[in-house]
Amino acid sequence: MKVLAETSAEPARSEARPAAKMPLLQVSHATKVFDVSPPWLTRVLGRAPRALLHAVEDVSFCIRRGETLGLVGESGCGKSTVARLIVGLYRLTSGSITYDGVDIATLASGRGDRTLRRKLQMIFQDPYASLNPRWRVADIVAEPIRAQRLARGRHAVAARIGELLTQVGLAPADGQKYPHQFSGGQRQRISIARALASEAEFLVCDEPTSALDVSVQAQVLNLMRELQQRLGLTYLFISHNLAVVHHVADRVGVMYLGRIVELADKRTLFAHPRHPYTRMLLDAIPDIAMSGKARTPVAGEVPNPLSPPSGCAFHPRCPFANDRCRTEIPALRADAQAEDALVACHAVEEDRIPQK
């Protein structure tokens, strides 16, 4: 995978973060529960209880201005639910999410809400499904500009559309085409242009490259890094591909069955993973270097979220589980062996896991 030169990346990153001591986004004890019960009459006749799906449970993290937080985990662990909670597509069951000190759940639908919402934008996984096939690209990119009244007059809007398309590596003339006339990578560039059209500061990227070929993935990821350096953007990057996360993220959070089990700096997490689940995910990466290092592939299946295991949700698959793991839910605590790292694991807390 081709990456941007480190010499050009570091100065821009250091300029974007000196004042980033306070988090731009703060997620505190976020919980989302879906009621997936059958209809009331069916439950009464069948004497069945309500079915509640705890998609996200007590999730807390922060993202500083100008950085990229990667969120990884197996399918169904709650990554996309977290993304939709942040941008307001879902309402929190409990907890809070604040952006730049403002609680996004309590804002009214007035002018302040519109100002905040345009700063938070999302790039979806499937670029074709997220673009209106009946609209020309110029209309798709222009919609946020017109809705937020960021440019007045036809010529001003057209100039802004051309600028955005050029910014993502397309030509202004491409605005007259329809989404189906582009490749997958080009459609994702259109999605990025639409997200930037509202002058967004924070982008939630929900597996934006998983539907693309490897070579196209590299192009889109390099584009996103370049835009971040140039515009000072902040990313929440969600992916199940650890190689991609290693390429783009500054810090990484690992989710399992609705909870964050490890949160650390990228270099710390990849070099010295602490949680058994994180270790298993990293061991599942193909060993191209043929190092001969002992590897333990991820075993078992993700439990049914409608009936999760008691205690630590990972204990049925964990080789280090004991009776405490089966009865007590581990809290996300600071790791004594790694600075600014958080781990939710009784085995780590009790130092029962051998060092790799």
For residues 322-345, average pLDDT: 91
Q: Indicate if the alpha-carbon torsion angle 227, 228, 233, 234 is positive or negative.
A: positive
pLDDT beyond 60 at 4: no
pLDDT beyond 90 at 234: yes
Average pLDDT in the chain: 86
pLDDT digits (tens, 9 = 90+) for 203-227: 999 999 887 888 888 899 999 999 9
Q: What is the pLDDT of residue 8?
A: 37
Number of domains in the chain: 1
Listed in sequence order, the residues at least 6 apart from 117 whose beta carbon sits closer than 8 Å to its beta carbon are: 88
Q: What is the pLDDT of residue 293?
A: 66
Count Cβ atoms within 10 A of the Cβ of residue 50 and give its class: 0-12 exposed, 13-18 middle, 19 or more buried: exposed
110 found inside a domain: no
81 found inside a domain: no
The per-residue DSSP string of 203-225 comes to: EEEESTTTTS-HHHHHHHHHHHH
190 found inside a domain: no
Q: What pTM does this model have?
A: 0.86
Q: What is the pLDDT of residue 9?
A: 37
Amino acid, single-letter form, for residue 304:
N
350 found inside a domain: yes
Query: Which backbone phi and psi does 297 adopt, to 5 degrees?
Result: -65, 155
161 found inside a domain: no
For residue 313, what are the domain limits? 273-356
Q: At what angle do helices 154-167 and 137-147 cross, to 10 degrees?
A: 120
> What value, to the nearest 5°, has the Cα angle with vertex 150 and ends 154 and 18?
140
Query: Which backbone phi and psi does 111 adopt, to 5 degrees?
Result: -65, -40
For residues 33-55, average pLDDT: 89
328 found inside a domain: yes
333 found inside a domain: yes
Which of the residue ranges 5-9, 108-112, 121-125, 350-354 would you say has the lowest mean pLDDT?
Answer: 5-9
Q: Tell me whether strands 259-265 and 94-99 are parallel, antiparallel or unpaired.
A: unpaired
How does residue 24 score in pLDDT terms, banded at 50, 70 and 90?
A: very high
322 found inside a domain: yes
**Which residue from 126, 325, 317, 341 is spatially nearest to 254, judged by alpha carbons?**
341
pLDDT digits (tens, 9 = 90+) for 49-101: 889 999 999 999 999 999 999 999 988 899 999 999 998 889 999 999 999 98
Question: What contacts 24+ positions apart, CB below 8 Å, involve 96-100?
Answer: 96/26, 96/27, 96/28, 96/29, 96/30, 97/25, 97/26, 97/27, 97/28, 97/30, 98/25, 98/26, 98/28, 99/24, 99/25, 99/26, 99/202, 100/24
pLDDT digits (tens, 9 = 90+) for 128-148: 888 999 999 999 999 999 988
The percentage of residues in the chain with a pLDDT greater than 70, rounded to a whole number, is: 88
Amino acid, single-letter form, for residue 148:
Q
pLDDT beyond 70 at 287: no
pLDDT digits (tens, 9 = 90+) for 161-207: 999 999 999 999 999 999 999 998 999 999 999 999 999 999 999 99
How does residue 154 score in pLDDT terms, banded at 50, 70 and 90?
A: very high
